[in-house]
Structure 1
Amino acid sequence: MTGQRLFLPLLILVGGGLGLATPADAHTSISGVGLFPNGLLHPVAVPQHLLLLIGIGLWMGRRQDRQIPPLLAALNAGLVVGYAATIWIDLTQITSLTLAAMTLIAGTLLAVNRPLPSLLNVSVFALAGLCVGLDSKPEALKANETLLLGFGIWIGVNIIALNIMALSAKLQHPIAVIGIRIAGSWLIAMSLILLAFELR
């Protein structure tokens, strides 16, 4: 399984990043810990990011093994591009809406449980990564601090997506498949609540 092969290198990178971690100050989201741990925990600390990663992780786990590397590559490419773009632009308000819309799409895909063309699949994952990256704008950090925070975010996103994917791939029993479809319907409901909250 692709997720299992990639998990060990991710753990090694996490350990290295923790060794490089610097004390955090006021511009990080969790005070008292370094920039790398802040980045690592960022996808968990932001509910919109976590919901979207759960959705695409579950969807990725339902795909064939050969389909997973392009989806993971698209997610990471979108994430890197989006995070890099925050140096020049701030689209936080727009990406909050887009994150909810992407979660709605992921939940719908899970609930309907029908395969998509490869290009459309890759596009969904690239947009998901782009939205998470754009919504992770660091606050007034130096270049090396921005990179360290971004490295943590990248590791955190991949750990969540790969572990949810591995869990989803193991759930092959018909009842488990129904459970995943129900989870998709919950994601739809939560994304609609988020959309209503953002548009109020």
Structure 2
Amino acid sequence: MRRPGHWSWVAAGWLLPAGAAQAHLVSSGLGPFYDGALHLLLSPGALLGLLALALLAGLRGPRAGRLAVIALPTAWLLGGLVGLGLAPVPDLTWLGVAAFLVLGLLLAADAKLPPIAIAALACAYGGLHGLLDGMALTAIGAGTSPLLGIVLAVLVIALLGAAAVVPLRVLWARIAVRVAGSWVAAVGLLMLGWLARGTG
């Protein structure tokens, strides 16, 4: 007896009914808090910039790492609370993409920024994405629980990212981190090109 071929599985996939699409908040079935955390993990624009900033802070040493880990979730939460009180604005996806493109370039260049500058970048990036998330949550009628899930995910990712890089002293390992920054920047350029083509 012959087993079903590759095309049989493709055809079966096309025949299956599709579920409802969620534009801004993925429903995990675990509640709004976990839906918020999952939203961050499935938002490449916000996630890539967050990773780039955490890695950059780790390259700059323990003090910069600690400041970034404190500033990022705090600014994200404050920006989100402000965003929850605002009416949705036109799509600002390009601004988020430009932000993580800049962070990718800084990481790739191993920019020698002082810890206070890293903290300022963390506040700006966290505040921007918190504001965007808050307005998106307002648009779908969600409350603060998803925002708290997003902020906790930001804290965990920033903490793990910075902590993984701070102890690196070997040159090749630090270069590998910088290569990751170049990939983040490349993805940012690609996404900006797509956005420009879509609006052109």
Where on the TM-score scale, by shorter chain, does this alignment land: which range? 0.7 to 0.9
- In the TM superposition, residue 119 of structure 1 has moved relative to its aligned partner by 4.2
SS of the aligned residue for 1:93 comes to coil
The CA distance in 1 between the partners of 2:95 and 2:45, in whole Å, is: 10
SS of the aligned residue for 1:167 comes to helix
1:140 partner letter: G
CA contact (8 A) 2:35 2:146 kept: yes
Q: TM-score normalised to the size of structure 1?
A: 0.77
Structure 1 residue aligned with 2:156: 159
Q: TM-score normalised to the size of structure 2?
A: 0.77
Q: Mapping of 1:109-128 within 5 angstroms?
A: 109-128=106-125
- In the TM superposition, residue 135 of structure 1 has moved relative to its aligned partner by 2.5
- Percent of aligned pairs with the same residue? 29
- In the TM superposition, residue 83 of structure 1 has moved relative to its aligned partner by 0.7
Structure 1 runs (4+) greater than 6 angstroms displaced: none
Structure 2 residue aligned with 1:83: 80
The CA distance in 2 between the partners of 1:68 and 1:89, in whole Å, is: 34
Q: Which structure has the bigger radius of gyration?
A: 2
CA contact (8 A) 1:91 1:134 kept: no
RMSD, matched Cα: 2.0
CA contact (8 A) 2:62 2:166 kept: no
- In the TM superposition, residue 104 of structure 1 has moved relative to its aligned partner by 1.3
- In the TM superposition, residue 28 of structure 1 has moved relative to its aligned partner by 4.0
**Structure 1 unpaired stretches of 5+:** 1-25
Q: Does 1:106 align with 2:77?
A: no
Structure 2 residue aligned with 1:140: 141
CA contact (8 A) 2:75 2:124 kept: yes
**Structure 2 unpaired stretches of 5+:** 1-21
Structure 1 residue aligned with 2:13: none
CA contact (8 A) 2:60 2:115 kept: no
Structure 2 residue aligned with 1:168: 165
Q: 1:39 aligns with which of 30, 36, 40?
A: 36
1:116 partner letter: L
The CA distance in 2 between the partners of 1:57 and 1:92, in whole Å, is: 29
1:80 partner letter: L
SS of the aligned residue for 1:29 comes to coil
Q: 1:34 to 1:185 in 2, by over 3 A?
A: same
